[in-house]
Amino acid sequence: MSSTVIAVGTANRPEILNRCVAAAVEGCSVAREAHWIVLDDSSPPDGALNLEIVQDWRRSGLQLTYVDRIVEDEIVDSLPGSSFRSSFAHLVARSSSCRAPGGRNLALLTGLALNPEVLFFVDDDMVHRHEGNCFFHWCANSNSGGSFVAAPRKLGIRDMTYLNRLLIVLNRHDWSRFISDRGISAEPASWYSSENPLWKCCDSGGGQVSATVNEREVVSGQLMAIRDGGEEWLPFPSEYNEDVNWSFLQSSFHGTPLLRVSAVNARHLPPSLGHSGAEAIVSELVGTAITRALRQIKPSGEQPRKTLTGRFQDVLGLAIKQEVFLLLQIEGAIRHRVRTCAADGGAIEILSKIERTLVDVSERLKTVDARRLAIDWLEDIEGRRKMFLALRHNEMIQALIRGVLLKASA
């Protein structure tokens, strides 16, 4: 059994999946010798292409388990009793608007079942390089002892919500280069360059500078490692920002150190970004509001759950109002752009389409009951924790999950 597991989530992006794996294993013995799990939420055409990519990597000697919906169902069916099956299904459930949250729980449950010392979570649009220091090597060979959650300092496209990305681009005079009727895109020559307003230009800390770590408040799950020193791990919560909110909760409830590893070379290189629908935007806003609330409360000490429960409802209401302010900023930016391009029918049509979606978002936010939302979210956290621990602490269940995975990798 490999001491390192790398779980990569993907959906309908075969060429990006292949780039992700190729960049990770090139010149990296840790990634090359790891047990990879590809969690594929693709529709049939792209799923077939992903399976071909998986088979090619297997033929090259990579140990790789391919988990699509069929294998996921096999895991559920292998579990004894309706309680275990329903718990697993609930934890890994994915909505149509965002597949990542349940996907990260699927990565957590399958990855930990293989008993690794280090479990990496990698999104398919992360490209890891080895010109300087290697994040995989640092995490696998760390002498810090005990458990930790670590992430590299990422370059490439900035990690932002759809609305924040939209606002940055709309505030530029050349906004029409980067916004089309399909999404926030760009000319191919400028998308992965400093000409892109969403690109991180600073590449400090690379080269041969020694890797260092700093404790931080949160980590992002796009490229993240958890080192297991007998830690009691929490499952990922629901809604967007689940990776950031999870790191807050994990650190608060269990004291797990959250580390940022600098002087490594990892880039976030997604393709052009499609416009989000109202449902997805509302979920994203709610997730960000939850993050704001957790930042303000910072539960810690002997009774973090009591502290969180006592203050979360009031703080979340204020956090949601801050997200409404972001909507007002974007509406103002759209009105300004409409005035500056009144003669451009195509631009007006694009802006009107975005504006209609934001009006829908505003109406949906008005129906959000912050108090009820806070209660439901906290209850869901506690319910998920009980389900997760029941699965994790049962050796028979872990062996059954492991058996399905090893069969799928054969």
Amino acid making up residue 321 = K
- Whether the CB-CB separation of 409 and 64 falls below 8 Å is answered with yes
Cα separation, 158 vs 125, in Å, equals 12
Query: Pick from 218, 291, 203: which is nearest to 259 by CA?
Result: 218
Which alpha helices (H) appear in 151-215, and where do they start and end? Answer: 162-170, 188-191
Predicted local distance difference test score (pLDDT) of residue 76: 97
Sign of CA dihedral 122, 126, 129, 132: negative
Q: Which two tokens stand for residue 396?
A: 């028979």
Predicted local distance difference test score (pLDDT) of residue 205: 46
Cα separation, 403 vs 140, in Å, equals 25
Predicted local distance difference test score (pLDDT) of residue 202: 64
pLDDT (tens digit, 9 = 90+) per residue, 23-81? 999 989 999 999 999 999 999 899 999 999 999 999 999 999 999 999 999 999 999 99
Cα separation, 396 vs 208, in Å, equals 46
Coil vs helix vs strand at 120: strand
Whether pTM > 0.85 for this model: the answer is yes
Predicted local distance difference test score (pLDDT) of residue 302: 62
Cα separation, 362 vs 324, in Å, equals 7
Predicted local distance difference test score (pLDDT) of residue 221: 84
Q: Which two tokens stand for residue 249?
A: 């909760």
- Which domains are seen in the chain, by residue range? 1-157+202-273+389-403 (3.90.550.40), 161-197+275-368 (no CATH)
Residues of the chain with pLDDT under 50: 205-207
Backbone angles phi, psi at 6, to 5 degrees: -120, 115
Query: Pick from 160, 247, 162, 164: which is nearest to 200 by CA?
Result: 160
pLDDT (tens digit, 9 = 90+) per residue, 101-148? 568 999 999 999 999 999 999 999 999 877 668 899 999 988 777 899
Predicted local distance difference test score (pLDDT) of residue 206: 47
